[in-house]
């Protein structure tokens, strides 16, 4: 609307001073407005015959009254005393000051780790408990392991002896057919003089280019069928079996060879009477051990970086890690720059801190060589420890079986980063049947894909593949195709 033109007035007397500006009509009662906090002020006395209608005031957003206090104290605005302040009516003084709690930088940082902060590890590390506090599933697992290890027999030795059966006949008959067939294969192989089984790792399974082969002995199979401590080479064979399943199902998962990144691969343990330390001063011994340690650390770091680049198109890289007498599993999310630790026994992170440093170093090289990340400004990986997962019975050495079950492609542990909060904290899922199925699946994979000559992981240069007397062993599947 266009304002009317101003007309000068020459004969008008000077105007009196204007009264204070107020939106409330004269004589009307003041509105009773409650402040955000504190007691309400007492009502003021007004004229009885004043009008009661007031101009409608804009109400503040309701969320401002419910907003939580800020992390940092924000002092109230101070009035500027250098200038004469405009006079306001008493009703305006009762309207609370609205302070915005929105912080753009903090919200951006929160969104980058929304998933991790929405579901934290529950309750810290587990404390060792006695057998009377095991869950029903843990009791069934311990009962099965005790049954496989606590038998007595005059024909079968308790400890491993080459060429002798692993278990008594009555216990072997209770196991699934794949495990019994693996045992029969071993008995035939020991009669012919075979010493071990070599595993060929094709290029692209763990990283691009040639991968180091590995082998496991019949002593390792003996402990496995008795459900004793699982050897790291068998964990590597299990990773290959899950790599095959990932290729078939199209799961976006990469695997790392556990034999290349275990604790012994990046640490140095030399006895004082070793020949390499002979005729060396204490300072020379210390310098030699430090140089050797740095070389081994660099080797493992380069391997992890190469594996990360080889699996840059994958959502997650699964890294089984063995230290001391224990296994844990790392879910490495390169693009999200996050590591989730699945530990069946909830060890303190100081026990594997050196390996976490290696993972961080490898991730830095991954970014340096063009690896994609969602937040390039982030320098280090986020580490989430004590994550909910299967929990082994305390005072047992069954951690390898629990880690293998968490490595399953079609298992309970999803590989989507945004799905991680839905993993439940439960030990009741891994029971006796889970353990038996895992052992049967690995035995079937060893026979079909490693020992069988058309198998993808059959080593063509091994003794099993080149010696004519082992022909029936490498063609075993032709005669036992019912499994």
pLDDT tens digits for range 311-348 = 988 999 999 999 988 999 999 999 999 999 999 998 88
Q: Which helix (H) or strand (E) element contains residue 479? A: helix 476-479
Mean pLDDT confidence for 114-129:
40
Measured CA to CA, the distance from residue 219 to residue 397 in angstroms comes to 17
Q: Which of 110-114, 139-143, 165-169 has the lowest mean pLDDT?
A: 110-114
Bridge partners, residue 382, by sequence: 338
Give the model's pLDDT for residue 51.
45
> Tokens for 457?
């992981």
Contact between 359 and 381 (Cβ < 8 Å)? yes
Residue 241 has pLDDT above 90, yes or no: yes
Give the model's pLDDT for residue 234.
97
In the chain the first and final C-alpha atoms are separated, in Å, by: 91
Q: Which residue has the tokens 């204490």?
A: 282
Q: Which residue has the tokens 């090289």?
A: 365
Bridge partners, residue 333, by sequence: 338
**CB hemisphere CA count around 478 (13 angstroms):** 7
CA distances from 301 to 189, 293, 308, 452 (A): 38, 12, 11, 34
Coil vs helix vs strand at 166: coil
Residue 270 binned pLDDT confidence (cut-offs 50, 70, 90):
confident
Contact between 478 and 212 (Cβ < 8 Å)? no
**309-340-380 Cα angle (round to 5):** 60
Measured CA to CA, the distance from residue 312 to residue 319 in angstroms comes to 15
| In the chain, domain spans | 138-479
Give the model's pLDDT for residue 214.
94
* Residue 263 DSSP code: H
Q: Which helix (H) or strand (E) element contains residue 257? A: none
Q: Over the stretch 414-444, which tens digit does the pLDDT of each residue have? A: 556 555 555 554 555 789 999 999 999 999 9
Q: By CB neighbour count within 10 A (0-12 exposed, 13-18 middle, 19+ buried), where does 410 fall?
A: exposed
Q: Over the stretch 444-456, which tens digit does the pLDDT of each residue have? A: 999 999 999 999 9
Length of the chain: 483
Give the model's pLDDT for residue 306.
92
Nearest Cα residue to 439 out of 137, 144, 150: 144
- pTM of full prediction above 0.85: no
Q: Label each residue of 369-432 as H, E or C.
A: CCCCCCCCCCCCCEEECCCCCCCCCCCCCCHHHHHHHHCCCCCCCCCCHHHHHHCCCCCCCCCH
Which positions ≥6 away from 310 have C-beta within 8 Å? 204, 206, 207, 208, 254
In percent, the amount of the chain with pLDDT more than 90 equals 49
Residue 79 binned pLDDT confidence (cut-offs 50, 70, 90):
low
Q: Which residue has the tokens 């930088």?
A: 105
Q: Over the stretch 2-15, which tens digit does the pLDDT of each residue have? A: 554 544 444 445 55
Nearest Cα residue to 476 out of 189, 193, 234, 224: 189
The stretches of 278-335 forming alpha helices (DSSP H) are 282-310
What does CATH list as the number for 138-479?
A: 3.40.395.10
Phi-psi region of 101 (alpha: psi -120 to 50; beta: other; left: phi over 0): alpha
Helix axis angle for 232-249 and 432-445, nearest 10°, is 80
Coil vs helix vs strand at 31: coil
Contact between 420 and 119 (Cβ < 8 Å)? yes
Give the model's pLDDT for residue 297.
94
Q: What is the mean pLDDT of the chain?
A: 78
The stretches of 21-135 forming alpha helices (DSSP H) are 63-66, 90-93, 104-112, 114-118
Nearest Cα residue to 432 out of 394, 393, 458, 465: 393
Coil vs helix vs strand at 176: coil
CA 385 to chain centre: 7
Residue 404 binned pLDDT confidence (cut-offs 50, 70, 90):
very high
Give the model's pLDDT for residue 105.
55
Mean pLDDT confidence for 370-389:
87
Residue 464 has pLDDT above 60, yes or no: yes
Give the model's pLDDT for residue 17.
52
Nearest Cα residue to 242 out of 398, 401, 404, 402: 404
Specify the higher pLDDT residue, 250 or 59. Answer: 250
């Amino acid at each position: 609307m266009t304002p009317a033109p101003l007309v000068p007035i020459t004969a008008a007397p000077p105007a009196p001073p204007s009264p204070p500006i107020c939106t409330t009509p004269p004589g009307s009662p003041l509105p009773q407005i409650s402040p955000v906090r504190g007691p309400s002020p007492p009502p003021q006395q007004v004229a009885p015959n004043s009008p009661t209608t007031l101009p409608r005031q804009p109400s503040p957003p309701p969320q401002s009254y419910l907003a939580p206090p800020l992390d940092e104290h924000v002092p109230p605005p101070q009035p500027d005393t250098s200038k004469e302040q405009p006079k306001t009516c008493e009703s305006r003084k009762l309207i609370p000051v609205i302070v915005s709690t929105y912080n753009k930088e903090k919200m951006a940082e929160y969104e980058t780790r929304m998933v991790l902060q929405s579901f934290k590890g529950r309750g810290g590390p587990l404390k060792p408990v006695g057998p009377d506090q095991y869950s029903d599933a843990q009791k069934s697992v311990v009962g099965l392991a005790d049954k496989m290890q606590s038998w007595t027999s005059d024909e079968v030795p308790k400890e491993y002896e080459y060429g002798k059966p692993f278990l008594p006949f009555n216990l072997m008959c209770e196991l699934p057919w794949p495990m019994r067939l693996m045992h029969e294969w071993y008995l035939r192989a020991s009669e012919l003089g075979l010493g071990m089984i070599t595993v060929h790792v094709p290029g692209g399974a763990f990283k691009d280019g040639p991968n180091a082969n590995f082998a496991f002995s019949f002593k390792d199979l003996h402990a496995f069928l008795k459900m004793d401590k699982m050897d790291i080479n068998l964990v590597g064979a299990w990773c290959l079996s899950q790599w095959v399943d990932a290729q078939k199902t199209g799961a976006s998962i990469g695997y790392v060879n556990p034999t290349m990144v275990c604790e012994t691969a990046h640490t140095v343990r030399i006895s004082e009477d070793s020949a390499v330390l002979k005729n060396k001063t204490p300072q020379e011994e210390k310098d030699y051990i430090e140089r050797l340690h740095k070389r081994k650390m660099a080797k493992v770091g380069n391997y992890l970086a190469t594996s990360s680049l080889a699996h840059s198109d994958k959502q997650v890289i699964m890294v089984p890690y063995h230290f001391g007498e224990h296994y844990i599993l790392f879910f490495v999310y390169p693009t999200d720059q996050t590591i989730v630790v699945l530990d069946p026994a909830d060890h303190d992170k100081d026990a594997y801190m050196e390996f976490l440093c290696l993972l961080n170093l490898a991730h830095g090289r991954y970014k340096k060589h063009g690896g994609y990340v969602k937040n390039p400004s982030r320098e280090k990986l986020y580490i989430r420890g004590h994550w909910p997962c299967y929990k082994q019975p305390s005072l047992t050495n069954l951690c390898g079986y629990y880690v293998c079950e968490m490595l399953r492609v079609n298992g309970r542990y999803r590989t989507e980063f945004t799905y991680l909060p839905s993993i439940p904290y439960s030990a009741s899922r891994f029971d006796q049947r889970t353990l038996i199925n895992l052992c049967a699946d690995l035995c079937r994979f060893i026979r079909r894909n490693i020992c069988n000559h058309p198998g993808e992981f059959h080593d063509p240069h091994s003794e099993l593949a080149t010696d004519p007397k082992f022909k029936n062993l490498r063609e075993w599947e032709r005669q036992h195709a019912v499994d």
